[in-house]
Amino acid sequence: MHPAEPVFQADEGLNAKYRHFRVATDRDGLAWVTMDRQGASTNTFSREVMEELASLVDDLVARKPRGMILRSGKDSGFIAGADVEEFKAAASVADALAIVRRGWDTFNKLAAVPFPTVALVRGFAMGGGLEVTLACRYRIAVDEPATRFALPEVMLGILPGWGGVMRLPRLVGPSAALDLMLTGKSVDARKAKRIGLVDAAVPPRVMENAARMMALEAPPQKKLPLKERMMAGPLKAVVANMARKQVAKRARPEHYPAPYAIIELWQKYDGDPFAPPAGSPASMATLAAHPTTRNLIRVFALQERLKALGKESGFAAKHVHVIGAGVMGGDIATVCAMRGLTVTLQDQSAEKLAPAMKRAHELVRKRIKDKYRARDALDRLIPDVAGEGVRRADVVIEAIFENLEVKQDLFAAVEARAKPGAILATNTSSLKLADIAARMKDPARLVGIHFFNPVPQMMLVEVVKGEATRPELARDAAAFVRQIDKLPLAVKDAPGFLVNRVLGPYLANAFRMVDEGIAPETLDRAAEQFGMPMGPIALADTVGLDICAAAGKALAGADAKPPACLVRLLEAGKLGKKSGEGFYRYEKGKPVKGQAGPVTEDLVRRLIAPYLAEAQKAVAEGIVADADLADAGLIFGTGFAPFRGGPMHYLAEGGKA
């Protein structure tokens, strides 16, 4: 054995005492604490786990080790944070505050131990998982793609109440800390090192020795740069006001109080969640009692349910073949390549493939900062005019224009060349699978995998099971969707499926209101006032007015009279953002809007009513399995106001159609 490698001796006394932690001591007198929550695939802080950690810290202080290293015993990652099920089960504000108090007291106890403490993080450290590392003196991150750090509490309508609001700004400065806390976004090991969140980012082969040397050497902790110290001191109020203005651009305080509470708690109370008086916007009691918090926790549970749909099959693809190098097909191919899959992208000529390859380079460079990982992703994306990739692919995705005969011919040819077990999928948004599969020898092989534009941003993917589709194929397709880090939603093969079916009447209603003389800006403001992230007119411009017209015709029937405003714009060649002008004119990709008129409650109700009514019809007709899945699909597929918990939940709670 290499002389620098640690030799461990299990602490039988402590290991007999605790269920969720294992303790071993190395020859240097360091205590290695491995968190391994029993009966769970992922580490989370339940009440029992937190109580064990508090007791274990007391035991270690009594034993006086030279230092302590905290690590995970799970292959899935470090620690995912609090046990959300306990938050959901909290029957009162007092119950919720008790959960916060346990974590706050335990992590403060850990932060106060007299010996060096090191968090060795491999995989995700989310929420309370990051907060426990902040309570340690040092942090070592394993430099792998799976290692991510985040404080996503704001996305649940709460705040990092276990010390995150207090400790993170002290460690990385207010700028980086507020950015992480107010957005919930994650950073990888290398960025964590750059911003000062971790002391080192190391490869797996040296992670234990890096943690060991950090604990033994116990270097002095770095001070923040002068600029960050000023922002945390004399300029604190200025920084807080600037942060509020940035938050106000994307979230109203009455809809999303948590980001405003985070700023207030940092500015006025140094991150102590128990310092604000009752009724304060920064009070944990105020947040816990707010309906947004309950609804955002509900949305989290819906998201987890969608993820679970992708775990019903063990299917894992290695090679994906995409036919059609338009914006949709090219982006599908690029997303798959960025997730580690080999991808062949087919179109009729090299000239038609070139724009997709150019966009792929831009997207990969934007998303993957490490130049070697970016290069590897681009190397996995292979132009394939001849379509030879069909023979090797585990998944074949058709993403060509909506022409039934062309799709029928295409799938008849693909079926003859593809591997027997390959998933054959169409990205159609309006045609029935049974019609597309009419010329296939085995129509049961066809499934719908319907992405939304823009593919890199939109998390939802509808998995469409036709009447003939084999059930196991639909389950395999859902597993593939999760493999590329999207959310699968099982839907029935019906016009528009779920998302486009509900959006169709909503957009058509907005167009008719424009025909009546209501300004597009007013309608968009009304939708935003309701809580939509984007108004219907801006959404139509983003999707493309030609696509909206085609989808509307497919849903309403060829004989339906299209809105006059839409016809007028299409005849003028104004297709929306992609042509530089639609309902709005675009400069550098941004819409140039006029002044919005007054928005009344009646206007909001009238605008939203068709959306809600169509969602009810879709559930009644069994387009999805139940109302909760409809809520999940419409939140993640259309951006329906998350703080309302989904359209069906909103109606059940007394909202009016």
Phi, psi of 10 (to 5 degrees): -60, 140
d(CA 268, CA 262): 10
Do residues 124 and 78 lie in contact, with contact meaning Cβ atoms separated by under 8 Å? Answer: yes
Q: Which DSSP category does 593 fall into?
A: -
Residue type, 260: Y
CA nearest to 152, candidates 191, 124, 173: 124
Got the DSSP string for 369-428? -SHHHHHHHHHTEEE-TT-GGGGT-SEEEE---S-HHHHHHHHHHHHHHS-TT-EEEE--
Q: Cα–chain-centroid distance for residue 450? A: 18
Q: Which two tokens stand for residue 619?
A: 């559930």
> Which are the contacts of 654, defined by CB distance < 8 A and separation ≥ 6?
none
Phi, psi of 236 (to 5 degrees): -60, -45
- Rounding to the nearest 10 degrees, give the CA dihedral for residues 200, 203, 209, 215: 20
Do residues 642 and 299 lie in contact, with contact meaning Cβ atoms separated by under 8 Å? Answer: yes
* Count of Cβ atoms closer than 10 Å to residue 222 Cβ: 9
Do residues 467 and 609 lie in contact, with contact meaning Cβ atoms separated by under 8 Å? Answer: no
- Neighbour order of strands in the sheet with 487-492: 381-383, 342-346, 319-323, 395-398, 423-426, 446-450, 460-465, 487-492
Q: Cα–chain-centroid distance for residue 213? A: 36
d(CA 23, CA 29): 12
Residues carrying an active site annotation: 450
- Rounding to the nearest 10 degrees, give the CA dihedral for residues 477, 483, 487, 489: 10
Do residues 657 and 613 lie in contact, with contact meaning Cβ atoms separated by under 8 Å? Answer: yes
Residue 607, CB-side half-sphere exposure with 13 Å CA sphere: 28
Q: Cα–chain-centroid distance for residue 579? A: 29
Q: Are strands 395-398 and 319-323 parallel, antiparallel or unpaired?
A: parallel
Got the DSSP string for 423-480? EEEE--SSS-HHHHGGG-S-GGGEEEEE--SSTTT--EEEEEE-SSS-HHHHHHHHHH
On the 0-12 / 13-18 / 19+ scale of CB atoms within 10 A, 271 is buried
